[in-house]
Amino acid sequence: MSEGKMKIAIAGGSGRMGRMLIETCLGEPDMELAAVFDRPGGAFIGRDAGEMIGQQTGVLITDDMPAAIAACDCVIDFTLPAGTMSHLAEAERQGKAIVIGTTGLSAEEKARVAQAAENIPVVFAPNMAVGVNAVFKLLEVAAQILNEGYDIEVIEAHHRFKVDSPSGTALRMGEIVARELGRDLDECAIYGREGVTGVRDDQTIGFSTIRGGDVIGDHTVLFAGMGERIEITHKSGGRVSYARGALRGARYLKGRQNGLFDMQDVLGLR
**Residues with a known catalytic role:** 158, 162
d(Cα 36, Cα 254) in Å, to the nearest integer? 20
Residue 235 pairs in a beta bridge with 218
- Which residues face 61 on adjacent strands? 36
> Residue 262 contacts by C-beta under 8 Å, 6 or more apart in sequence?
123, 124, 125
- Count how many Cα atoms sit within 13 Å of the Cα of residue 234 in the half-sphere of its side chain: 24
Reduce the DSSP state of residue 80 to 3 states and report it.
coil
- State the Cα–Cα distance between residues 113 and 16, nearest whole angstrom: 24
Count of other CB atoms within 10 angstroms of residue 211: 15
Residue 221 to residue 232: CA distance in whole angstroms: 5
DSSP state letter for 59: P
